[in-house]
Chain A
């Protein structure tokens, strides 16, 4: 029954992320704004590595590795949710070995083609980017992230919309999950909603949701809502957080500028 119910699964997975974000650690305590900027910088730097720079790229693994330990979160939690998007990256990357067959170097007598290296680089980039983004949301509640967005002058209506949507996602996922379960109990063996119920299944939920919006609006009006949420500046970012973020950023930039693994290997082989 639950296998048929992706809505319920999504609800559980949302809950799990929120529980992670509600924990306490050094990384949880880092202010959201530097954390957000640092994550974006990390992803941008990771993606900017050239396509054959496999060894240089590998050093970027250290940042999330340390990050997850600082946050007290097992990286395995993150790997499980990559199953949706990584296949797409693989599907694009899998063609590289076929189209780029020129040997880049030899491993013993075995020629390693540029395509293989660029495919692996692509995969690593995908994994790194996802782990970093997940670390951000697993250590920062959405409210805090939204406050950081406000500080970046993201329009208030968009931030309010994000918060409000998130609030109702949990409610609607639950409703959809109940409907799916009720449906699958009466339609055993079906893997999805039958074509005869395509319109009514979500249509019913939609009508109820619009009633909900009405009632929600009433509740907001009753409390003096005038079209926008009242401003919430939140507390400022302490200088220490900025300093920590700056050190991290410099380390990331250095990792991007120098092929540290190759230098390391070179020293060992050479020395």
Chain B
């Protein structure tokens, strides 16, 4: 579910960065406040968080074979970290995992990092925890193993559904896909339903094992008798509201100002080709892309072709594209040449040693 850089526009990327950075900031603030309540006692949090993130990182590489399918599933990191560390520390730990995955394994991208943090860490740690995990742990009737399984599966399914939904919104708003919004959604949600269920089951298996061996590692399971484990309507509503605000409100604001248009105004390019192009671009993507608008787009396009024709104006069908293709080919050849020269030099250098 990692978003690639190519799938988002800089504006959407920046917006998601802002949302994730704000979440991280609040998390750090909350942790600091918790620590300041116990002055004089050095917090064990940092080493625990680091080792837990490293564990999730390694654990996500392990293949779990799904019976009867021949394929394999993986661990749901966000929920596991949250169950161990609580949502605030869990979010930061998950952030560390995602940053390292993005840097060293090209899972995701630098610009898409904010979006990935939101889609995976935020939903996994906060939505999964406050809406599902904690309310279920608060139940007095169920046995701990049942509670853990139920909470893991439902929590993973919910957070992956929200995550997949965000991926669709972010990609659509970035205007990189022609796939209609509904079709994209219809493609993503069911797939992630299945993935979420499997990830949830694997996470449940791990949590139940941990609970049987060392119940003190999972603070929420035991707190069912006490106050703090109780379902908190206010917390739930707050999380829902924030999620709705950011995904719905924040991003649709951006959409109306149009990501491409926004960037374009930054560069202030007046070349006809692009802005014409952009006009079409704006019309053809989005939730509804009526054929009439697309047709209008073609007209615009055919209208600007002559501007870019050959100097004598004879080859009307070729237009700007030929000079573009020629130039791109030259650039490609140049890039290839640079690489070739470099590798030849390197080989020579190695031979001399």
> What is the interface of chain A, defined by CB distance below 8 A to chain B?
4, 6-7, 10, 13-14, 17, 39-40, 43-44, 47-48, 50-56, 58-59, 61-62, 65-66, 68-69, 72, 74-75, 78, 81-82, 84-86, 88-89, 92-93, 95-96, 98-100, 102-107, 112, 114-115, 118, 122-123, 125-126, 129-130, 132-134, 136-137, 142, 145, 155, 157-158, 160-162, 164-169, 171-173, 175-176, 180, 190-195, 198-207, 209-210, 212-214, 216-217, 220-221, 225-228, 256-266, 268-270
Contacts and interface: CB of A to CB of B under 8 A. Distances in A.
Contacts of B28: 155, 157-158
Contacts of A93: 176-177
B46 A157 contact: yes
A100 B24 contact: no
Contacts of A136: 103, 110
A24 B269 CA distance: 40
B197 interface: no
21 contacts: A6-B62, A48-B260, A61-B332, A66-B338, A92-B7, A100-B284, A114-B280, A133-B103, A158-B28, A158-B92, A165-B50, A169-B54, A191-B70, A206-B55, A210-B52, A213-B44, A213-B52, A228-B46, A265-B323, A265-B325, A270-B310
A172 B58 contact: yes
B297 A265 contact: no
Given A7-B62, A166-B100, A207-B210, 5 more contacts: A17-B104, A130-B5, A157-B46, A203-B213, A213-B52
Contacts, number: 388
B300 to A, nearest CB: 11
A205 B52 CA distance: 10
B48 A213 contact: yes
Interface in B80-136: 92-93, 95-97, 99-100, 102-111
B42 A225 contact: yes
A19 B157 CA distance: 39
Contact of A61 (B48, B66, B99, B335): B335
B281 A51 contact: yes
B103 A137 contact: yes
B146 interface: no
A180 B63 CA distance: 9
A204 B5 CA distance: 36
B192 interface: no
B267 to A, nearest CB: 6
Interface in B28-45: 28, 31, 35, 42-44
Contact size range, B? 35 or more
Contacts of A107: 321, 325
Interface in B6-38: 6-10, 13, 24-25, 28, 31, 35
A59 B328 CA distance: 7
Given A50-B281, A51-B175, A106-B318, A205 B324 contact: no
A146 B52 CA distance: 20
Given A43-B111, A84-B107, A192 B72 contact: yes
Given A92-B179, A192-B63, A202 B75 contact: yes
Nearest to A75: B339
A265 B327 contact: yes
A190 B210 contact: no
Interface of B is mostly: helix
Given A47-B5, A52-B281, A207-B214, A191 B72 contact: yes
Interface string B170-214: 010001111110000000000000000000011011111110011
Contact of A227 (B42, B93, B100, B107): B42
B61 interface: yes
A122 B105 contact: no
A266 B324 CA distance: 8
B227 interface: no
A4 B180 CA distance: 38
A212 B321 CA distance: 61
B278 to A, nearest CB: 6
B341 A85 contact: no
A161 B50 contact: yes
B53 A65 contact: no
